Amino acid sequence: MTTQAVIIEPIRRPFPALKYQAWHRMIHPYYTKQPSNVVGEYIRHFCPQGGLVVDPFCGSGVTAIEALTSRRSAICMDLDPLAVFITRQTCLAPVDLNAYWEAYHQVEREMKPIVEFVRNASTRELEDYEITEWYPKGVKLPSNADRGYVEGLFDRRQLIIFAHLHSAIMRMPNEQARGLLLLAFSASLAIANKMSKYDRKRGGGTCGVFIVYRYWVPPYPSYRDAWDVFKVRARLVANAKKKSNEIFGDFVREGETFSVYRDSAESLLKCVDEKSVDYIYTDPPYGAHIAYLDLGTMWHAWLGFEVTDGMRAREAIEGGEQQFDEKHYLDVLQKSFEQMFYALKDDAWLSLVFHHKETRLWYSIRDMLRYSGFEYVNCVAQPLSYKTFHKIKNPLRVLGESLIVNFQKTAKRKISQPMSLPMANLIKNVAERVIYRGGGATTEEILREVVPELLDDDLFIDAAAKNISDILAILDSDFELDNNNMWQIRAGRKLGNFIEPRKRIRYYVMRYLHKVGKANFDEIVTFILPRLINGHEPTKEDIDDVLKEVAVSHDGINWELKKPEELAEQGELPLFETAAEYVAEIPASTTHNQQIYRLALLCQKAGLVPYIGRQERSDPMLARLKPLTQLNIKVEPEKMRRIEQIDIIWATADGSPVWAFEIEEHTPILSALERFSALLDATPELGHRHQVTIVAPKTRRRKLNQELTTSSYIGRPAYLETKISYIFAEDLEKEFNKLTTRASIRGEELHSICHFPTGSETGGRE
Ligand SMILES: C[S@@+](CC[C@H](N)C(=O)[O-])C[C@H]1O[C@@H](n2cnc3c(N)ncnc32)[C@H](O)[C@@H]1O
């Protein structure tokens, strides 16, 4: 029997967000909680029953709760110990509620006298009261807080109650009950403090931290009795745990069906095995909005959670106390996505919640995931609460909602090493610029300009770890190779960081007219419009203006490009090479040495180092090229002396010969054969590749043929005719003019102009 892979369709519609119906809603406040029922729908759709769901940025643990509810295992991570604490306590099951209430009543009894004292004491008595119980003293709040220290966030009465309450809870022997009472305590800290503001609409208090994302003390805080608040929170925790007992049954077993780790999402593979995860639903931080670790300071201090500098350095945020920039934020996300890629099974799905107001980041994040090997499938505008639920046509225009973006792991990565977004963007920017300037560009031309920019941006070390195919994969996503092997901008790509709209129109008009010769206005507009969809669609007038600048119409119907000289006079960029052949300038010297010079430059473009014959090396033109003066070969001195007279040898950096050339303008060709024969004794592989080559003018064709068929090196024992090749000097010059405009070449490209004594006379290697 064959098993067929189940094909999962993406989710294409939003669900009504029933946030207020979630049983865990009131257990503890947290930032941007996901609508639980929506997360549940995604999990049941994308993860098979009994499968494993992961959330590496779990926050208050909604993904885990929904996974466990639907009988999927859950592994969660968060950098913030507070998030890990809330998630663990919320998912904890089954809970012994009798033991919980017993512990609560014990705490209540112990707290009674101090609660009474605080409620009846005068201000003076409160001031004079010495708090003997532990509370966090001298713990600094973030610099944007309205108070300097954690204790400054509480009224004296709140501080006294919380100090006693904390100690009473910590004395409870039942670990499970203690943990849950601490959860109620922690939730109370968020309410009974100086940041509390009465919310008329909701009829309760809201805390500045969750409204403005900093420790904000309103001008008229509403005082909340700490013990009353705790009493309510303790009941809410009990209610929630009663519900979780019913929902989870005995399915939750920490370390088996459920785990939560306090670590960075960048370390996901420490917590899950490669290719073991069926589905990831995650809601990473929104960049610059919320600095979770800074905002957690009050809770960390009270609950004894250590937050080290190392942890802070890993937070996926912009700004905060560490003043992180966008690059840091995207770097952490990039590393996390990379881990998610490896953790997922082939073809598994990743749903990512995206809530940035900055649409630009949307593209960055989508691209990062693509570069990590994920395939972008679709995105759904998902309202966060029922009230705002309405039909939305264009998700990207309505970021008041959140987007759920669905990706699928492609079985094969396109890119061997993950590419950081700044690097990928830089490559794209530079490529766009070079293509625009030249009306198309070869890979080498793009690379030649990419490298210095990577260096300028301190990205070169990163780049060194990549290989060329990674860069090609980046180019491939936004550019395409035309028939001449030149990169062009793909239709409909949203690039344009670099080129202003007007220039972009000009680029397409010139490219199109260059290609087709003549075209009427409608044809031109039809070609251009789909290529300019990136937010600045041109009007017909824009195109008309550009046409007038760069084209002429002789028949009143069709447009054609102005002559290159005319465009140049107008100061237009020389977008396309003219038909005239490029003739490189060679310094004055003998024609013999000029040929050596040409070969030496090609050698360098091929990434090799020229060795230049002893005699020729004294020519200043050739000396300037800093040729090798020694070859890395072992041969008797007699033969070495002959080899050293070879005009030019292309060699690797360590002096190993790769290709040898003799320029034979007038000299007897026999001496060249003699030198080559010595070289072949030391490096026979050059002969196998026909890379011992005579360069001679076409007028010497007969002489060449004669020497290459009758000399003593032909036939037994040397068989030089099977190893040697020759190039006509005229062909070399032409080829040089062509290749020299390129940043780099492959040495073997010269084979296209080589002739072989026993092969065809038309050139080309057989
Ligand atoms: C938007 S919140 C998640 C909220 C969650 N969806 C919920 O419903 O509660 C993002 C979370 O990412 C966490 N975080 C930030 N940097 C992290 C990192 N490098 N690794 C793991 N978690 C990180 C924050 O502490 C925060 O809890």
pLDDT tens digits along 707-723? 888 888 888 777 888 89
More confident residue, 2 or 49: 49
Q: Which two tokens stand for residue 261?
A: 């780790």
**What gap in Å lies between CA 524 and CA 561, rounded to an integer?**
12
More confident residue, 526 or 707: 707
pLDDT given at position 766: 24
**What gap in Å lies between CA 234 and CA 355, rounded to an integer?**
32
Indicate the DSSP class of residue 324.
B
Quick check: is 301 in a domain? yes
Q: Residue 293 — pLDDT band, cuts 50, 70, 90?
A: very high
| Pocket of ligand 1 contains residue 404 by CB under 6 Å | no
Give SS3 for 727: strand
Domain containing residue 514: CATH number: 1.10.10
Quick check: is 393 in a domain? yes
The tokens 């069709």 sit on which residue?
558
Q: Are 60 and 41 in contact (CB under 8 A)?
A: no
Whether the bond into 717 is cis, omega within 30 of 0: yes
pLDDT(534) > 50: no
Pocket test for ligand 1, best of 25, 57, 272, 307 (most atoms within 8 A of CB): 57
Q: Are residues 76 and 192 in the same domain?
A: no
Q: Residue 762 — pLDDT band, cuts 50, 70, 90?
A: very low
Task: Please give the average per-residue pLDDT across 571-577, as a whole number.
Answer: 44
**What gap in Å lies between CA 693 and CA 597, rounded to an integer?**
16
Q: Are residues 622 and 744 in the same domain?
A: yes
Q: Are residues 190 and 285 in the same domain?
A: no
Report the separation in Å between the CA atom of 77 and the middle of ligand 1, taken as the mean of its atom positions.
8
Sequence letter at residue 429 = N
Domain boundary among 464, 483, 499: 499
Q: Are residues 306 and 432 in the same domain?
A: no
Residue 694: domain span: 591-753
| Pocket of ligand 1 contains residue 60 by CB under 6 Å | yes
- Report the nearest atom of ligand 1 relative to the CA of 264: 20
Domain boundary among 354, 389, 409: 409
Q: Which of 443, 163, 492, 136 is nearest to 296 (CA)?
A: 136
Q: Are residues 708 and 748 in the same domain?
A: yes
| Pocket of ligand 1 contains residue 283 by CB under 6 Å | yes
Domain boundary among 460, 478, 499: 499
Q: Residue 468 — pLDDT band, cuts 50, 70, 90?
A: low
Q: Are residues 256 and 405 in the same domain?
A: yes
Q: Are residues 299 and 405 in the same domain?
A: yes
| Pocket of ligand 1 contains residue 78 by CB under 6 Å | yes
Quick check: is 726 in a domain? yes
Q: Residue 4 — pLDDT band, cuts 50, 70, 90?
A: very low
Which range among 24-28, 454-458, 463-467 has the greatest average pLDDT?
A: 24-28
Residue 503 CB burial class (10 angstroms; 0-12, 13-18, ≥19):
middle
Residue 149 CB burial class (10 angstroms; 0-12, 13-18, ≥19):
middle
Q: Are residues 190 and 336 in the same domain?
A: no
Task: Please give the average per-residue pLDDT across 130-135, as a whole number.
Answer: 96
| Pocket of ligand 1 contains residue 83 by CB under 6 Å | yes
Domain containing residue 382: CATH number: 3.40.50.150
Task: Please give the average per-residue pLDDT across 289-305, as a whole number.
Answer: 95
**389-437 pLDDT per residue, tens:** 333 333 333 344 677 888 999 765 555 555 566 677 778 877 887 887 7
Q: Are residues 602 and 708 in the same domain?
A: yes
Does this model's pTM top 0.85? no
Quick check: is 6 in a domain? no
pLDDT given at position 583: 60
Q: Cα–chain-centroid distance for residue 463?
A: 12
**614-646 pLDDT per residue, tens:** 888 888 888 878 888 889 998 899 999 999 999
More confident residue, 730 or 557: 730
Mean pLDDT, the chain, whole residue set: 84
The tokens 């300097």 sit on which residue?
148
Q: Are residues 104 and 208 in the same domain?
A: yes
Report the separation in Å between the CA atom of 263 and the middle of ligand 1, taken as the mean of its atom positions.
11
Quick check: is 763 in a domain? no
Q: Residue 5 — pLDDT band, cuts 50, 70, 90?
A: low
Q: Are residues 303 and 376 in the same domain?
A: yes
Quick check: is 546 in a domain? yes
**469-508 pLDDT per residue, tens:** 667 777 877 788 887 778 887 766 655 545 566 766 777 7
Q: Give the total number of structural domains in the chain.
A: 5
More confident residue, 10 or 253: 253
pLDDT given at position 360: 61
Task: Please give the average per-residue pLDDT across 239-257, as a whole number.
Answer: 96
Q: Are residues 284 and 379 in the same domain?
A: yes
Residues in the chain: 766
pLDDT(461) > 70: no
pLDDT given at position 574: 41
pLDDT given at position 419: 58
Give SS3 for 581: coil
